[in-house]
Amino acid sequence: MNEKLAVTVFTVREQLKTVGIGPVFKELAQMGYKGLQLSGLPAGYDQDEVAYHLKANNVVAAGMHVPFARLTNELDLVLKEAQKYGTNALFCPYLPEELRTEEGYRAVKEALNNVAQQAPDFQIGFHNHAFEFETTIDGQDALSYLLEPSQDNRILAEIDVYWVKKGGRDPYTFIQTYSGRMPMIHLKDMTKDEEETFAEVGEGSIPFLPILQWGEQNGVEWYVVEQDVCKRDPMDSLRISLANLQQLAAQL
C-alpha cells in the first residue's frame, strides 16, 4: 500500500507560490509520497515545469483536479495537459453555488457523463464536500445521485472521508457503494473537539484502518492525503499524516 500513498498539492498551495514548484515537489518526494495529485497550482503555472519536476523527482501524477467549467469548456486542452503529466485521472473538485440545486446537479451529471464519453481512455470523476448532502434528488442525496453505480453513469468517485463525516454520514459505510468505482480516495481527519476541523490523518476521530482495508480489496489506486487548513507548517502536517498511514499500512 505504501506505493499508493499520495498527497494533493492543494495542501501546500501557499508554498507553491512562495517557494516554487520544484522545491515543493522535491520535499514531498523525499518525504516519501509516491504520487502528487495536481490541485491548487499557482495561477499561470508552467505545464512544462510541472511535468519536469514530476519526472525529476520520480513521483507520479496521481490525477488532476480540474474545475467543472474547464472540464466542460476546455476538454481538449485538459486532455493534452494530462497526457503531458502522464495521468488519465481527471476529477471535478468543487461546484459553484449556482449549481448546488436539483436542476444544477442534474446538469452536472449529464455534463460529466458527456466528458467521459468524449474521453473514453480517461477516468472522469467527482470529489465531494459536505454541501452535496443538503440537496435531495430522486430520493437520495445529491452526492449519491451524482455517483450512482449504474452502467449508464460513468462518473467515478473520489470520496473525501472528512467531508462525508462533516455531512453527518459514516465514511466507512458510505464508501461501500463504490467498489470498483473509486480509483482515488481523499484521506483527511477531523479533530475530536467541538470545532471538528481538519486534522492530520491518524490524529483525529476517523478510524482509518477499516477504510484502508476496504480500499485494498475494492480497487483504490491512490490514497490521497489532503488537509485544507493546517495549524502547523503544512509540510510538518503532511509528514505526520504519512508516518501514521505507513504505520497503518503495516497492519494490513
What are the pLDDT digits (tens) for 49-99?
A: 999 999 999 999 999 999 999 999 999 999 999 999 999 999 999 999 999
Task: For residue 10, give the C-alpha cell.
Answer: 492543494
Task: List C-alpha distances in Å: 246 to 32, 60, 159, 183, 206.
Answer: 10, 18, 20, 19, 16
What are the pLDDT digits (tens) for 179-211?
A: 999 999 999 999 999 999 999 999 999 999 999
Q: Per-residue pLDDT averaged across 159-172, rounded?
A: 98
Residue 104's pLDDT band (boundaries 50, 70, 90)?
very high
What pLDDT is recorded for position 165? 98
What pLDDT is recorded for position 84? 98
φ/ψ of residue 97, rounded to 5: -60, -35
Strand partners, 225: 7, 187
Set out the domains of the chain in order of their start, with CATH numbers.
Answer: 2-249 (3.20.20.150)
What pLDDT is recorded for position 47? 98
473509486: which residue's cell?
Answer: 182
Q: Per-residue pLDDT averaged across 14-39, rounded?
A: 98
Which candidate, 35, 30, 43, places its Cα nearest to that of 9? Answer: 35
What are the pLDDT digits (tens) for 215-237?
A: 999 999 999 999 999 999 999 99
